């Protein structure tokens, strides 16, 4: 995202895309075709988390090689999937700011020279794989930079105005018009574009060995294209696909969609605008139904949220950890935005250099505890591999408690959703319990099948899952205390 108003436009576009009939390709629609994502997920994703990397701002150097030095630290923290923001060259024509938007792609098969070379990138991927992590990259299929070679080599692939000219991406669906002056829109009615885009995506899987993609404004692109593209990618290797969208039908092609629903709840709770009742209602009567296999990404921040809407300090203040606990334990895959383990307390600039101040990683142990908890407890796994949620009555609307269970593994969570000390009681408990302001309690079995402060090497696709933990028959028998 490049504009603070974009969420409204994105929501309108997503609704329009969801209601529009899918484009057919070779006589097959998205609904008719299906995809591997609808039947299952690559094995290494089942208890995984995801970590977003902004190469430009991650280090002073802003290069792949400088970021690579952080890989051992991230693996120790328990990170599984590295999502790299766009690594491509950025357009110079109509560029915003001195460095431009990451999402104004000039060459789909190129590397941003500010970050390093293709060899540097391949070495980064190889090193991440060697540590047991996977790598996906951001993919912008809706639009390109004005000086992308496709604008001249394949001018028919672009949307045109009444004068027959390409023009800035324009959104009129929101409260106010938006004009993205640095990018121009692609015309998905052109069959050649389908082949060209799929070929560019396959290049990165085949040549660089990446493990999948995060698709920018995916609902603006025909779903049938994503279904077809994924099928082609799977011929090279199993992939993981994240859609920047909320629509359930995206799960025909994608493993995971954005959980903006809980993001809004987290922010409202931190500001005192909502409490446990809002979470109960969300879980009891969801406004949108998703298939059981759908992974939903849970997060408190990402690059858009941070740069355009506010830092963790602005959104959450002292509630930051409590909301992170909910994001890591409610159904879905938790996202950490690179810098949060350093207490990222500023809005990173989007079009210029603005390095992260890591402050000696004050929250690294906190996140490591949450990620370890997820790795070790099947109840917290993603999609159909994890357990459902049973909300527990606490007798206090300021305390939210729930239990998740899968194959005898039980995890209990209680969170104080207020800035003052609260008492609460759980069903069957003899005495009331107390939580300090924004405090939390997580109860789970002792660690099993995990060593070295991180996740074990992931099993191959289709391989046997880790052994189940010992059966448990009651709630809250032991505690995990996170820093």
Look over the chain and give the mean of its residue pLDDT values, rounded to a whole number: 87
Asked if 183 contacts 168 with a C-beta cutoff of 8 angstroms, the reply is: yes
- pLDDT of 120 above 60: yes
The answer to the question of residue 392 being in a domain is no
pLDDT digits (tens, 9 = 90+) for 139-157: 999 999 999 999 999 999 9
Q: Find the range with the poorest average confidence among 18-32, 84-98, 312-326, 432-446.
A: 18-32
Flag whether 428 is in a domain: no
Domain count, the chain: 1
Of 75-79, 135-139, 171-175, give the lowest mean pLDDT range: 171-175
Domain that includes residue 306, residue range: 6-387
The string of pLDDT tens digits covering residues 65-109 is: 999 999 999 999 999 999 999 999 999 999 999 999 999 999 999
280-297 mean pLDDT: 95
**Domain-embedded: residue 119:** yes
Residue 403 lies in a domain: no
State yes or no: pLDDT of 38 exceeds 50.
no
- Quick one: pLDDT at residue 476? 34
- CATH code (residue 88): 3.20.20.80
- Could you tell me if residue 460 is inside a domain? no
296-322 residue pLDDT tens: 999 999 999 989 999 999 999 999 999
- Which pLDDT does position 295 carry in this prediction? 97
Name the token pair of 286. 């969801």
Q: What is the pLDDT of residue 176?
A: 82
Determine what percent of the chain is predicted with pLDDT higher than 90. Answer: 81
Q: Which residues lie closer than 8 Å to 40 by C-beta, 6 or more apart?
A: 293
Does the model's pTM come out above 0.85?
yes
Does any domain span residue 313? yes
Sign of CA pseudo-dihedral 372, 375, 378, 382: positive
Per-residue pLDDT band at 370 (split at 50, 70, 90): very high
In a domain, 449, yes or no: no
The predicted structure's pLDDT at residue 39: 53
pLDDT value at residue 366: 97
Alpha-carbon span 223 to 218, nearest angstrom: 8
Q: What is the pLDDT of residue 454?
A: 35
**Least reliable range by pLDDT among 125-129, 150-154, 174-178, 347-351:** 174-178
- Answer yes or no: are the C-beta atoms of 340 and 368 closer than 8 Å: no
Listed range (11-25, 26-40, 431-445) with the worst mean pLDDT? 11-25
Has residue 202 been placed in a domain? yes
């Amino acid at each position: 995202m490049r504009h603070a108003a974009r969420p409204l436009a994105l929501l309108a576009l997503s609704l329009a895309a969801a209601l529009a009939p899918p484009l057919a390709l070779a006589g097959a629609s998205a609904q008719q075709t299906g995809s591997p994502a609808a039947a299952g997920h690559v094995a290494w994703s089942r208890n995984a988390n995801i970590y977003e990397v902004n190469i430009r701002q991650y280090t002073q150097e802003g290069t792949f090689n400088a970021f690579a030095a952080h890989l051992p630290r991230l693996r120790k923290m328990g990170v599984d999937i590295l999502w790299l923001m766009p690594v491509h060259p950025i357009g110079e024509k109509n560029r915003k700011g001195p460095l431009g938007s990451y999402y104004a792609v000039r060459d789909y098969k190129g590397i941003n020279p500010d970050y390093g070379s293709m060899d540097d990138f391949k070495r980064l991927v190889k090193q991440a794989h060697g540590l047991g992590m996977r790598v996906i990259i951001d993919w912008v299929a809706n639009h390109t930079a004005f000086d992308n070679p496709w604008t001249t080599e394949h001018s028919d692939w672009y949307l045109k105005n009444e004068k027959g000219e390409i023009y800035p991406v324009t959104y009129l669906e929101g409260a106010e018009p938006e004009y993205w002056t640095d990018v121009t829109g692609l015309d998905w009615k052109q069959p050649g574009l389908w082949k060209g885009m799929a070929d560019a995506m396959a290049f990165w899987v085949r040549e660089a060995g990446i493990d999948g993609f995060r698709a920018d404004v995916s609902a603006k692109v025909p779903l049938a294209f994503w279904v077809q593209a994924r099928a082609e990618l799977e011929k090279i290797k199993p992939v993981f696909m994240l859609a920047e969208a909320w629509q359930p039908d995206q799960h025909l092609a994608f493993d995971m969609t954005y959980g903006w629903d809980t993001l809004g709840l987290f922010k409202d709770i931190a500001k005192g605008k909502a409490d446990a009742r809002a979470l109960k209602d969300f879980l009891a009567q969801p406004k949108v139904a998703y298939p059981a296999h759908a992974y939903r990404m849970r997060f408190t921040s990402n690059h858009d949220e941070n740069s355009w809407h506010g830092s963790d300090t602005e959104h959450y203040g002292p509630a930051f950890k409590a909301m992170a606990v909910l994001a890591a334990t409610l159904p879905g895959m938790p996202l950490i935005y690179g810098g949060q383990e350093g207490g990222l307390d500023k809005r990173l600039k989007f079009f210029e250099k603005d390095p992260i101040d890591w402050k000696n990683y004050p929250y690294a142990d906190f996140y490591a505890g949450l990620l370890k908890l997820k790795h070790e407890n099947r109840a917290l796994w993603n999609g159909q591999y994890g357990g459902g949620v049973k909300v527990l009555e606490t007798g206090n609307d300021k305390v939210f408690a729930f239990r998740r269970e899968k194959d005898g593994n039980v995890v209990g969570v209680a969170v104080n959703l207020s800035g003052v000390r609260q008492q609460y009681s759980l069903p069957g408990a003899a005495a009331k319990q107390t939580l300090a302001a924004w405090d939390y309690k997580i109860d789970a079995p002792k660690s099993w099948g995990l060593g070295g402060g991180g996740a074990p090497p992931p099993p191959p696709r289709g391989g046997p899952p880790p052994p189940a933990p010992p059966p448990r028959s009651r709630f809250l028998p032991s505690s995990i205390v996170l820093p």
